[in-house]
Amino acid sequence: MAEQHKSTVVITGASSGVGLQAARALAQRGNWHVVMACRNLEKAENAAQSVGIPKDSYTIMHLDLASLDSVRQFVKNFRESGKSLDALVCNAAIYTPLLKEPLRSPEGYELSVATNHLGHFLLCNLLLEDLRNSSASEPRLVILGTVTHNPKELGGKIPPRPDLGDLQGLEEGFKAPHSMIDGKKFEPVKAYKDSKVCNVLTMKELHRRYHESHGITFSSLYPGCVATTALFRDHYPLFQKLFPLFQRYITGGFVSEEESGNRVAEVVADPEYNQSGVYWSWGNRQKKNGKSFIKEVSPEASNDDKAKRLWELSQKLVALA
Ligand code: NAP
């Protein structure tokens, strides 16, 4: 299909795992051009080639979500490319379960919340107008969620559980000595889970503020437990070896990277996913090509007051307010 007739999707963190496979799945459809928004350009190029994405179906652009300057520069570069924006997928994330002390973003924020939440929060805000101006009948903004955001589900029951508390860490500027949103002691696993609660709250608040006025469909999804991805690269080597086996043979919840990418592509492109403000899931005991359904999110991620407060505080931290 000629380039000018293709829709454009930006996917963050498309250099591995779910994001790479989502890029592959959308490009394979033939009517999508994928902008792979990645921090390592060479890695992204090799990754695109490794899964056979046709050369004319993708563009790689630099984006380091940990740096607010880089997010702003990415948006500038994207606009200069002259492409329209028809869908945005906020997929990139880091998970650093073994850290004893927090790493910091250039702005001084704890790195996993800075990358997974604040970088995406700024990106979504800056690209809203671009999505609004899309010629597509239904532009979409999709944010990756995870089962571990929800203590009401089995996968979310394992401690430490996410809890944003009263957002004290954010209220007080989120720089050292703060490293947790609730203002408590640093716990790297909880920091990741908290950031994923923020992702769902952001999707909900985007929907409340902009769905009607901008005609954009906002949604999240849990792609399934994709136990082989590089997300677990900073975990114990033994965990990395046993976790996929555990998911495949004990829980039955194993989802391949390819299948997870197909799921993201469905939420981005298929007509039945044109519902805004919802969170899609394929369940926890998953079969290939199983059916998706709208899943309730955790009580904290459904809290409208918290979504509003998180929005206001995040605006300040990324210098939008
Ligand atoms: P992954 O293979 O580690 O992919 C993460 C991607 O994010 C990589 O491309 C990585 O880039 C990129 N990234 C990390 N920091 C970045 C930064 N500062 N700027 C730009 N890009 C950055 O992990 P994954 O499993 O595919 O995870 C993708 C999404 O799925 C995440 O949102 C995760 O929460 C969600 N998810 C995953 C699972 C699972 O079981 N794996 C389950 C539920 C939800 P590099 O290649 O340069 O490192």
Residue 17 CA to ligand 1 centre (angstroms): 7
pLDDT tens digits, residue range 194-250? Answer: 999 999 999 999 999 999 999 999 999 999 988 888 888 888 888 888 888 888 888
pLDDT at 252: 79
> pTM value?
0.96
Collapsing DSSP to helix, strand or coil, 177 comes out as: coil
Strand intervals (E) in 25-128: 32-38, 58-62, 87-90
* pLDDT given for residue 1 in this prediction: 62
Whole-number Å distance between alpha carbons of 104 and 79: 29
Q: Is 156 helix (H, G, I), strand (E, B) or coil?
A: helix
Atom number of ligand 1 nearest to Cα 228 = 41
3-state secondary structure of 11: strand
In whole angstroms, give the CA distance from residue 23 to residue 224: 17
Instruction: Spell out, as residue ranges, where the chain has pLDDT lower than 50.
Output: none
The 10s digit of each residue's pLDDT in 277-312 is 999 999 776 655 678 999 999 999 999 999 999 999
Nearest CA to ligand 1 atom 3: 231
Q: Whose CA is nearest to atom 2 of ligand 1?
A: 17
Provide residues with CB under 6 Å of ligand 1: 12-13, 15-19, 38-40, 43, 63-66, 91-94, 115, 144, 146, 196, 222-223, 225-227, 229-231
Q: What is the pLDDT of residue 2?
A: 61
